[in-house]
Amino acid sequence: MINDSSLNKLRKPENIRHFHSYTRKNENKLSYNHSHVGVDSSLTSNEDFQKLAQKVVKVRDDLIKFEKSIDAQFIEMKAVLDASLKSITEEIKSLKKKLQQMKI
């Protein structure tokens, strides 16, 4: 026969922990879920943090490469625009001279 004290013992979190996921509060009163049986949550959190930090570094490096690529493309576009503007300016000066010569 099962009495109330036996049920209370079964209901204790330390006895349920190995069979189910449960949520408890840590020292900082933050709740977190123990879903991994026998796994140190601080270790998995640290591993997750390290993975996230590596991804952040990779994204930052990718952004730096992208920025350099964009800068190089802008330099090329500026050179093309400067050359085009110079050509247009020379053409306008040439046409202006021709018009002045026609008036004379």
Domain ranges of the chain: 1-39
Question: Residues of the chain with pLDDT > 90: what percent?
Answer: 48
Between residues 56 and 39, the one the model is more confident about: 56
**Rounded to whole angstroms, how far apart are CA atoms 1 and 3?**
6
Residue 70 has pLDDT above 80, yes or no: yes
Q: How far, rounded to the nearest angstrom, does the alpha carbon of residue 93 sit from its chain's CA centroid?
A: 52
pLDDT band at 53 (very low <50, low <70, confident <90, very high): very high
- Looking at the DSSP assignment, which residues form a beta bridge with residue 34? 22
Residue 22 has pLDDT above 80, yes or no: no
Q: DSSP secondary-structure letter at 25?
A: E
**Rounded to whole angstroms, how far apart are CA atoms 61 and 66?**
9
Q: Amino acid letter at 8?
A: N
pLDDT band at 85 (very low <50, low <70, confident <90, very high): very high
